[in-house]
Amino acid sequence: MSDTLVVNEIYLSLQGESTFAGLPCVFIRLTACDLRCSYCDTAYAFTEGKKKSLEEICTEVRRLAAPFSNPKSSRKAGRTPKLPLVELTGGEPLLQKNSLSLMKQLCDDGFIVLLETSGAHDISPVDPRVRRIMDLKCPSSGEAERNRWENLRHLKHNDEIKFVIGTVEDYEWARRQIMEHRLNVVCPLLFSWVHPLAPEQQNKSLKKVPAGQTPVSRRELAEKIIADALPVRFQVQMHKIIWPPEQRGI
């Protein structure tokens, strides 16, 4: 029974974030998270989920990926990634140790595997073939003290660092971290604007934005990036533009 994971949902959609935005992706959302970020839009994954074996999970991923396995499709090697991508998200996937075995198996199966992680846990045991998309939690999250700075030394050029930015203070904090740690020479940097939570996404356990912070709009964030010539990729959550923000399985 040790080769199991508690899974919230598995579904096929479009990748809404990161440098892979817009590409078809199978999402494996695992249950449980030990952070309570103020802007979290998947609080339902804190506790909801069912135990599944690694083989059951891999079988479902292969089923969802099967329509993309057209031998007649023309794909230039090295130009277009194998589709669909597979992403482990949560919750916090690294809270469940068997996520490491699952990622290895998916890589062995030939998938391009992405990991969305909070940055509060050790990323060094993750299979080196996995593209790690790691948060650095900004002040408005309420969880900035949980950043595991030791993770920076483990990042590779094809990993990504994500800053989720909802306030002016977040922006200034993120800008300082980029300069102080020379993050722009480590890997791609993502500035993700905080999309306001719908009423049904609110959860009483989430942290409050610290008092005295100034909200920043999408446009203001984009204009600050341009004005300061920051070496970052601005992003919005594409799936929330296509579908209702509160909809699951997107």
The whole-number average pLDDT for the span 73-94 is: 79
pLDDT of 200 reads 85
pLDDT class of 72 with cuts at 50, 70, 90: low
pLDDT tens readout for residues 86-127 = 999 999 999 999 999 999 999 999 999 999 999 999 999 999
Q: How far apart are CA 161 and CA 91, in angstroms?
A: 18
pLDDT of 198 reads 79
pLDDT of 80 reads 64
pLDDT of 79 reads 57
pLDDT of 203 reads 93
Mean pLDDT (the chain) is 94
Alpha carbon 244 to its chain's center: 19
pLDDT tens readout for residues 118-142 = 999 999 999 999 999 999 999 999 9
pLDDT of 196 reads 87
Q: How far apart are CA 48 and CA 33, in angstroms?
A: 11
Give the pTM.
0.94
pLDDT tens readout for residues 229-238 = 999 999 999 9
pLDDT of 126 reads 98
Q: Assign 3-class secondary structure to the chain.
A: CCCEEEEEEEEEEECCCCCCCCCEEEEEEECCCCCCCCCCCCHHHHCCCEEEEHHHHHHHHHHHHHHHCCCCCCCCCCCCCCCCEEEEECCCHHHCCHHHHHHHHHHHCCCCEEEEECCCCCCCCCCCCCEEEEECCCHHHCCHHHCCHHHHHHCCCCCEEEEEECEHHHHHHHHHHHHHHCHHHCCCEEEEECCCCCHHHCCCCCCCCCCCCCECCHHHHHHHHHHCCCCCEEECCHHHHHCCCCCCCC
pLDDT of 250 reads 87
pLDDT of 225 reads 98
pLDDT tens readout for residues 3-34 = 999 999 999 999 999 999 999 999 999 999 99
Task: State which amino acid sits at residue 171.
Answer: Y
Residue % of the chain over a pLDDT of 90 = 88
The whole-number average pLDDT for the span 181-203 is: 93
CATH fit for domain 4-67+79-242, picks 3.40.50.1820, 3.20.20.70, 3.50.30.50, 3.40.980.10: 3.20.20.70
Tokens at 217, concatenated = 């709009």
User: Does residue 181 have a pLDDT over 80?
Assistant: yes
User: Does residue 185 have a pLDDT over 90?
Assistant: yes
- Per the model's pLDDT, the better-predicted residue between 239 and 2 turns out to be 239
pLDDT of 74 reads 45
User: Does residue 2 have a pLDDT over 50?
Assistant: yes
